[in-house]
Amino acid sequence: MSVLELRAVSKVYGEGPAQVQALRGVSLAVEAGALVAVMGPSGSGKSTLLTIAGSLEDPTSGEVLVGGSALAGMSRNERARLRRRSIGYVFQDFNLLAGLTAAENVALPLELDGVGAGKARTAGLAALAELGLADRAARFPDELSGGERQRVAIARAVVGERRLLLADEPSGALDSVNGEAVIRLVRAACQRGVAGVIVTHDAQLASWADRVVFLRDGRVADQTAPPNPESLLAPGPRP
């Protein structure tokens, strides 16, 4: 079963002459353990796709299913619980709360979900340790480097029992080596069974995905075949 499924999703903003069709009948399924990258030029609908997949916005038509359940059939409370419990978000600008330490930032979604403070803290520390940030747990965001802040954001996105990780340009303004460290963490989360979707215009970042989907004018224009590294190391003339 797909963790995320979009069925013929369309999204229209505005009305009349100012109307913008951001998505036009997009269908996409992401299995547990898979990482899918969505590429496309500015205005192709990448970010809209991500906010709709994360139930932060409703489609104008079509269906979104997370863990097999249609979002349209859920009450506001059920959707809010799903967002807190099952979906992790990573944004380009990290979105960490400045007044909370790294550990508190990571534990926050669990606490909002009603998990006791002690238990949430333990889970938060475990997620930080997994990302090599155990010794940064008590630091505030402005005491961390850009790379560390993004790792905290990823820890917060994968803490607890999250099944779906949604990331918008997750390596943001990081240099290529720090950016690679971030995407390796996303890959590691996927290898533990999380379904991941990253939206990016960076082909190097997208090349970590199992599948790259190309959006154009709100439609899925194309997608890559599964990678086969063996073909590159085969003897014979090189490309």
Partner 1 sequence: MSVRHALLALLSEGPKYGLQLREEFEARTGEVWPLNVGQVYTTLQRLERDGLVESDGAGEDGPQRGFRITPGGAEELTGWLRTPPDLASPPRDELVIKVLVALRVPGTDVADVIQVHRRYVVELMQQWTRIKEDGAPDDLGLALAVDAELFRLDSVIRWLDAADARVRRVAADPPGAAAGGAAAPAPASLPRLRRKAGVRR
Binding region for partner 1 (CB under 8 A) = 39, 41, 176, 184, 187, 201, 203-204, 206-209, 212, 214, 216, 221-225, 227-229, 231-233, 235, 239
CB of 208 to partner 1, least distance (A): 5
User: Min. distance of Cβ 107 from partner 1 in angstroms?
Assistant: 30
**Tokens at 115, concatenated:** 């998990």
Question: What is the Cα–Cα distance from 53 to 36, expressed in whole angstroms?
Answer: 13
User: In whole angstroms, how close is the CB of 45 to partner 1 at the nearest point?
Assistant: 15
In the complex, minimum distance from the CB of residue 180 to partner 1, in angstroms, rounded to a whole number? 9
For partner 1, the closer CB: 69 or 223: 223
| Backbone CA torsion sign across 84, 85, 86, 88 | positive
Tokens of 85: 């419990």
Q: CB of residue 223 vs partner 1: minimum separation in angstroms? A: 8
Q: Which residues contact 9 (CB under 8 A, 6 or more apart)?
A: 23, 25, 26, 27, 49, 52, 59, 61, 62, 63, 64
Angstrom distance (rounded) from CA 206 to CA 200: 7
For partner 1, which is the closer residue by CB, 60 or 223? 223
Closer to partner 1 by CB, 43 or 67: give it.
Answer: 43
Reduced to 3 DSSP states, what percent helix, strand and coil does the chain have, rounded to the nearest 5? 40, 25, 35
Q: How far is the CB of 104 from partner 1 (least distance, A)?
A: 31
Nearer to partner 1, 81 or 187 (CB): 187
Integer Cα distance of 36 and 194 in angstroms: 11
Closer residue to partner 1 in complex, CB, 47/101: 47
CA distance 105 to 58: 27
SS3 198: strand
Shorter beta-carbon distance to partner 1: residue 76 or 238: 238
